[in-house]
A = this chain, B = another copy of it.
Amino acid sequence: MANLAFLGLGIMGTPMARNLLRAGHRVALWSHGTEKARKLASKEPNAVFAETPRAAAAEADCIFLCVGTSEMSELVLTGPGGVIEGARPGTVVADASTVAPTTSRAIGQRLAERGIHFLDAPCTGSKPGAEGATLTFMVGGDEAVFDRVRPFFEPMGKQFYYCGGPGMGLEAKLTQNLTLANMMLAFNEGMVLATRAGVEPSLMVEILSNSAARSGLLAFKAPYVLKRDFGTNFSTKWMAKDVGMALDSAREKGVPLPLTGVTFQMFQAAIAEGYGDEDMCSTIKVLEDWAGVKVAQKS
């Protein structure tokens, strides 16, 4: 069993850290404000509470991180009291946060100057995937480094894709979310048009589900929309953040993405209408308001 650390204990981080602990690893825990780390450490025998990222890093062979923004990742890893001040040379830092590839590459470079290895390792699978240890990880960085720490990933996930050099895990992750966001809007526009035309929404979902338009997204989201349940699995505002980062990445590379540009604006419209904290399928309500219909199953 190894000495690990887990930094950031939100909706994703808490169950991920718990799965590492239950696999028998000793895990130093830190969270923003320290309260969540203190609480989890008090319940788990293998856990050690850490006051700062620096303290959490001190004895760890591998440090995992799962925070909400590029800024937070930068602060926790390279800021004052950060991992960079505590980690020994040879330690591996694996950042499971979805952050900008550019920021991630810059962090990796600063850590490398101290002899600390860095992997970008964003994951997908939402809260149920984190709890059930069925996450998919997309990893960028040095392949030999990943091979060495891969056993520590295994208690948290099911699929592990090595995607290439620094930032490549994030490029793959942003692409996946960009694709999902566009598919969400494709669903919204089709369903609102059909409903406005008078096709019964449940029938339209059934027709789509039995055609080439069937998808994981359709199977997951359509029942929630038909039931008018916009409780959050993945929020509109977090998806907007990821689509925004994908567009930034495309802009840096000079790649025009007309569809994704419109999708981003529709997510912004949904946030402006107050749906930012609801599930991303709430974006359909913007179109519903325009069309004067609701995509609901017959009651």
Contacts and interface: CB of A to CB of B under 8 A. Distances in A.
A260 B262 CA distance: 10
Given A171-B198, A178-B193, A213 B253 contact: no
Nearest to A247: B193
A179 B186 CA distance: 5
Contact of A171 (B136, B194, B246, B254): B194
Contacts of A263: 259
Given A124-B211, A194-B172, A189 B249 contact: no
A42 interface: no
Interface residues of A, number: 69
Interface stretch (A63-71, A141-149, A215-223): A215-223
A262 B258 contact: yes
Given A164-B198, A190-B176, A203-B161, A182 B136 contact: no
A266 interface: yes
B255 A192 contact: yes
Nearest to A253: B196
A207 interface: yes
Interface string A171-199: 11011101110110111011111101111
Contacts of A232: none
A212 interface: yes
A165 interface: yes
A291 interface: yes
Q: Specify which of A193, A253, A261 lies most central, judged by the most chain B CB atoms within 10 Å of its CB.
A: A193
A212 B208 contact: no
Contacts of A199: 163-164, 168, 171-172, 175
B186 A186 contact: yes
B253 A291 contact: yes
A259 B168 contact: no
Contact of A193 (B200, B204, B206, B250): B250
Contacts of A193: 171, 174-175, 178, 246, 249-250, 253, 255, 257
Contacts of A265: 258
23 contacts: A136-B207, A136-B210, A136-B211, A163-B207, A164-B198, A164-B199, A171-B198, A174-B193, A176-B207, A176-B208, A176-B211, A179-B189, A179-B208, A182-B183, A182-B259, A183-B183, A183-B213, A189-B257, A189-B259, A193-B249, A214-B216, A255-B287, A255-B290
